[in-house]
């Protein structure tokens, strides 16, 4: 029996140590702290078997080392000095090239078992399937190492919609609308904006950005989003097609879109973390019932403010402090006017009458572009027409069905000659000169008893304006109307004599401007 115990003890002393290094270090510390301590006392302290303690203490006694020699060495040096290498790992079985395995797994219908079987045919002594799957999982974890990103002040704003929604109730009908929650987080300060909108459509997506820029008091250099339809129309091999309305909004604020790669949430970690934080804040609203988006956004604004003033756990200060101290000054200043959402209509054909149709009204382009296809950008008030990216026309949107808007410059000369004689064109022309020119032409076209001669007088006055200039024509009309003069002959006389340009005293001596029917004092020999 004694011989057996000695044989067992010797075998145990030669056993490889699979005990964790930190436990080996603690056993060694206790061993050198009190050399007379028994194996059982140390084992009870550490929580392992006395046999294992004895094996390690025998190894320590076999060396000439003291605690001061080994307490600060790293794990590899420890194993070498104490002799606790795991001999089972001395001759490991062959393992595959894990990068090759990962590439094979990208094939359609590939499984780890099939790949392992194929590999084992060429490497029969290789690792088993269990080790194979474990090794591949470890390789995948290495691939997923996250790079710590350094964010500069004012450089990036990370945006996203939260995964969950908040109900908004209609007080009259009881209908429930799910509010989409927009999150915007600045990269440097983590300053956060939270806002609720009815949908994730372009109009609401753009509105979220407008409100976000206004809340932050400026715009960043880049806006990082994922690939929702409101932000990205499509991705091609060599380019990203950004939603034009979204692109125009960002351009208005001096920034630009930087969409992430598809299905790569770690490309916008700030937004992902912001969403997680916001969703924890939503817990406080679980007992609230909201009856309008304004009511909900008032509450979300309060939560945003509370979050931004909450102190960091591992950093000095808070989001608001970092924003005010460093980041706000780095943001691009806001423009004087907020962005007005526009829509686009593409490849609209110009008619032979050099007009395009938009929402039931017709708008002109230069006549030589008839037959071309153009793009329309429009808001509720303005219509812009583009050809090959260059704006060729700008009009005020007409709400009356069938209305036609034609710029004089868009007509060919032959058409101008015809239309200039039309009353509507004369009225439009006079309105562009000034209020008194407009009154003079309106009198001849609308107030005279003889419309035919009134039209001829208005046409003649247009010729006078071309001869003397629009500014001079407006001045003469102003003088004439003050003197209650409207006849064409009298107006022509003012142009001839320049009576309106004489000093006031000289004008007071004349009740009316001279013309062929007025006899001066020289007629009577005075």
**Per the domain annotation, does 84 fall within a domain?**
yes
SS (H, E, C) 103-165: HHHCCCCCCHHHHHHHHHHHCCCCCCHHHHHHHHHHHHHHHCCCCCCCCCCCCEEEEEEEEEE
22 three-class SS: helix
pLDDT at position 472: 93
DSSP state of 94: P
Handedness of CA 408, 411, 414, 418 (dihedral sign): negative
- Among residues 409, 431, 466, the one where a domain terminates is 409
Return d(Cα 283, Cα 404) in angstroms, integer.
56
pLDDT of residue 86: 58
Q: Are residues 367 and 306 in the same domain?
A: no
Give the residue, 11 or 137, on which the prediction is more confident: 137
129 and 204 together in one domain = no
How far is Cα 286 from Cα 166, in angstroms, rounded to an integer? Answer: 9
Residue 338 lies in a domain: no
Exposure pattern of 414-435 as b/e (b: 16+ CB <10 Å)? eeeeeeeeebebbbebbeebbe
- Residue 249: pLDDT band (50, 70, 90) is very high
Instruction: Report yes or no on 440 lying in a domain.
Output: yes
pLDDT at 243: 87
Q: What's the pLDDT tens digit per position in 335-376?
A: 998 998 888 889 999 999 999 999 999 999 999 999 999 999
Spatial separation of the C-alpha atoms in residues 252 and 382, rounded to whole Å: 16
521, pLDDT greater than 70: no
Number of other residues whose CB lies within 10 A of the CB of residue 340: 14
* pLDDT, position 17: 58
In the chain, the percentage of residues whose pLDDT exceeds 90 is: 40
Task: Name the DSSP letter for residue 323.
Answer: I
What phi and psi, each to the nearest 5 degrees, are found at residue 476?
A: -65, -40
pTM over 0.75: no
Is the pLDDT at 274 greater than 70? The verdict is no
Residues 276 and 319 reside in one and the same domain: yes
Report the alpha-carbon distance of residue 373 to residue 382 in Å, rounded. 20
Is pLDDT above 80 for 253? Answer: yes
Overall number of domains in the chain:
5
Domain shared by 389 and 438, yes or no: no
Opening angle at CA 426, ends 425 and 431, nearest 5: 100
- Domain for residue 262, yes or no? yes
Q: What is the pLDDT of residues 70-105, one digit of tens each?
A: 888 888 888 888 887 655 445 678 899 988 888 788
- DSSP label of 221: S
Task: Round to whole Å and give the CA distance between 118 and 69.
Answer: 50
Same domain, 12 and 79: yes
Query: What length does the chain have?
Result: 526
Nearest alpha carbon to residue 371 among 399, 392, 350: 350
Q: What distance lies between CA 448 and its chain's CA centroid?
A: 60
Read off the DSSP letter of residue 92: P
Same domain, residue pair 365 and 440: no
The two structure tokens encoding residue 196: 């609720």
Asked whether residue 181 falls in the same domain as residue 314, the answer is yes
Chain centroid offset of residue 200 CA: 13
| Gyration radius from the chain CA atoms | 43
What does the pLDDT read at residue 4?
Answer: 30
pLDDT the model gives residue 261? 62
Confidence band of 479 (pLDDT split at 50, 70, 90): very high
Q: What is the pLDDT of residue 270?
A: 54
Residue that is last in its domain, among 306, 330, 354? 330
Flag whether 414 is in a domain.
no
Contact 361, 184 (CB under 8 A): no
Q: Structure tokens of 437?
A: 């020119």
The number of C-alpha atoms within 13 Å of 20 and in the hemisphere containing its C-beta is 6
**Residues 30 and 83 reside in one and the same domain:** yes
Q: Are 196 and 189 in contact (CB under 8 A)?
A: no
Question: What is the number of alpha carbons within 13 Å of residue 16 lying toward its C-beta?
Answer: 7
HEC secondary structure over 256-296: EECCCCCCCHHHCHHHHHHHHHHHHHHHHHCCCCECCHHHH
In a domain, 451, yes or no: yes
What is the C-alpha to C-alpha distance for residues 104 and 86, in angstroms, rounded to an integer? Answer: 33
Q: How confident is the model at residue 418 (pLDDT cuts 50, 70, 90)?
A: low
Backbone torsion region of residue 410, taken as left when φ is above 0, otherwise alpha when ψ lies between -120 and 50, otherwise beta: alpha
3-state secondary structure of 411: coil
pLDDT at 326 over 50: yes
Angstrom CA distances, 109 to 113, 129, 222, stand at 11, 18, 39
Average pLDDT of the residues in 171-178: 89
Taking alpha carbons only, the member of 420, 404, 410 closest to residue 369 is 410
Evaluate whether residue 398 is within a structural domain.
Answer: yes
Residue 143 structure tokens: 């691939």
Place of tokens 């000695």: 6
Based on the domain organization, do 520 and 476 belong to the same domain?
Answer: yes
364, containing H or E segment: strand 361-364
**φ, ψ at 377 (rounded to 5°):** -115, 125
- Of 453, 475, 450, 449, the C-alpha closest to 464 is 475
Which of 388, 409, 430 is the last residue before a domain boundary? 409
Dist CA 284 CA 192 (whole Å)? 17
Is 78 within 8 Å of 70 (Cβ atoms)?
yes
Using the structure block, give the residue that is written with the tokens 């005279």. Answer: 448
* Same domain, yes or no: 374 and 478: no
CA angle 363, 364, 366 (to 5 degrees): 160
Q: Which domain holds residue 387?
A: 343-409
Whether the Cβ atoms of residue 168 and residue 179 lie closer than 8 Å to each other: yes
Exposed, middle or buried by CB within 10 Å (0-12, 13-18, 19+), for 258? middle
Residues 325 and 180 in one domain: yes
The tokens for 102 are 């990962």
Banded model confidence at residue 213, pLDDT cuts 50, 70, 90? very high
For residue 335, is it within any domain?
no
Quote the tokens at residue 135: 């090794």
Helix (H, G, I), strand (E, B) or coil at 139: helix
Residues 312 and 375 reside in one and the same domain: no
Q: What is the CATH number of the domain that holds 261?
A: 3.30.420.10
Strand bridging mode 256-257 / 222-224: parallel
């Amino acid at each position: 029996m004694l011989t057996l115990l000695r044989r067992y003890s010797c075998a145990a002393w030669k056993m490889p140590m699979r005990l964790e290094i930190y436990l080996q270090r603690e056993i060694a510390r206790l061993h050198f702290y009190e050399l007379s301590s028994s194996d059982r006392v140390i084992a009870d302290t550490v929580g392992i078997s006395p046999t294992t303690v004895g094996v390690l203490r025998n190894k320590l006694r076999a060396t000439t080392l003291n605690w001061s020699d080994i307490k600060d060495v790293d794990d590899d040096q420890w194993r070498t000095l104490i002799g606790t290498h795991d001999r089972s790992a001395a001759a490991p079985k062959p393992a595959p090239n894990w990068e090759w395995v990962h590439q094979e797994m990208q094939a359609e219908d590939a499984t780890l078992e099939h790949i392992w079987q194929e590999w084992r045919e060429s490497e029969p002594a290789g690792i088993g399937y269990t080790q194979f799957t474990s090794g591949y999982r470890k390789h995948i974890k290495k691939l997923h190492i996250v790079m710590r990103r350094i964010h500069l002040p004012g450089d990036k704003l990370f945006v996203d919609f939260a995964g969950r929604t908040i109900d908004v109730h209609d007080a009259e009908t009881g209908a429930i609308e799910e509010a989409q929650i927009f999150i915007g987080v600045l990269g440097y300060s983590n300053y956060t904006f939270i806002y609720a909108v009815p949908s994730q459509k372009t109009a609401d997506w753009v509105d979220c950005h407008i409100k976000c820029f206004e809340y932050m008091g400026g715009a960043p250099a880049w806006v990082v989003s994922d690939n929702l339809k409101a932000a990205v129309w499509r991705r091609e091999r060599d380019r990203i097609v950004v939603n034009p309305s979204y692109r125009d909004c960002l351009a208005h604020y001096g920034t630009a879109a930087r969409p992430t790669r598809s299905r790569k949430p770690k490309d916008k970690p700030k937004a992902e973390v912001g969403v997680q934080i916001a969703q924890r804040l939503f817990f406080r609203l679980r007992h609230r019932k909201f009856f309008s988006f304004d009511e909900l956004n008032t509450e979300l604004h309060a939560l945003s403010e509370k979050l931004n003033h909450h102190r960091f756990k591992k950093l000095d200060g808070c989001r608001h402090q970092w924003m005010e101290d460093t980041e706000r000054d780095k943001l691009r200043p806001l423009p004087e006017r907020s962005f007005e959402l526009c829509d686009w209509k593409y490849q609209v054909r110009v008619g032979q009458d050099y007009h395009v149709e938009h929402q039931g009204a017709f708008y002109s382009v230069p006549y030589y572009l008839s037959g071309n296809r153009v793009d329309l950008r429009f808001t509720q008030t303005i219509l812009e027409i583009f050809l090959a990216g260059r704006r060729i026309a700008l009009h005020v949107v007409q709400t009356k069905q069938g209305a036609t808007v034609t710029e004089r410059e868009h007509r060919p000369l032959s058409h101008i000659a015809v239309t200039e004689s039309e009353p509507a064109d004369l009225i439009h022309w006079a309105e562009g000169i000034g209020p008194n020119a407009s009154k003079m032409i309106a009198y001849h076209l609308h107030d005279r008893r003889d419309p035919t001669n009134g039209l001829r007088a208005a046409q003649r006055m247009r010729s006078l304006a071309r001869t003397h200039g629009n500014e001079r024509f407006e001045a003469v009309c102003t003088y004439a109307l003050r003197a209650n003069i409207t006849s064409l002959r009298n107006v022509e006389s003012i142009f001839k004599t320049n009576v309106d340009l004489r000093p006031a005293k000289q004008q007071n001596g004349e009740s009316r401007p001279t013309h062929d029917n007025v006899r001066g004092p020289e007629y009577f020999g005075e």
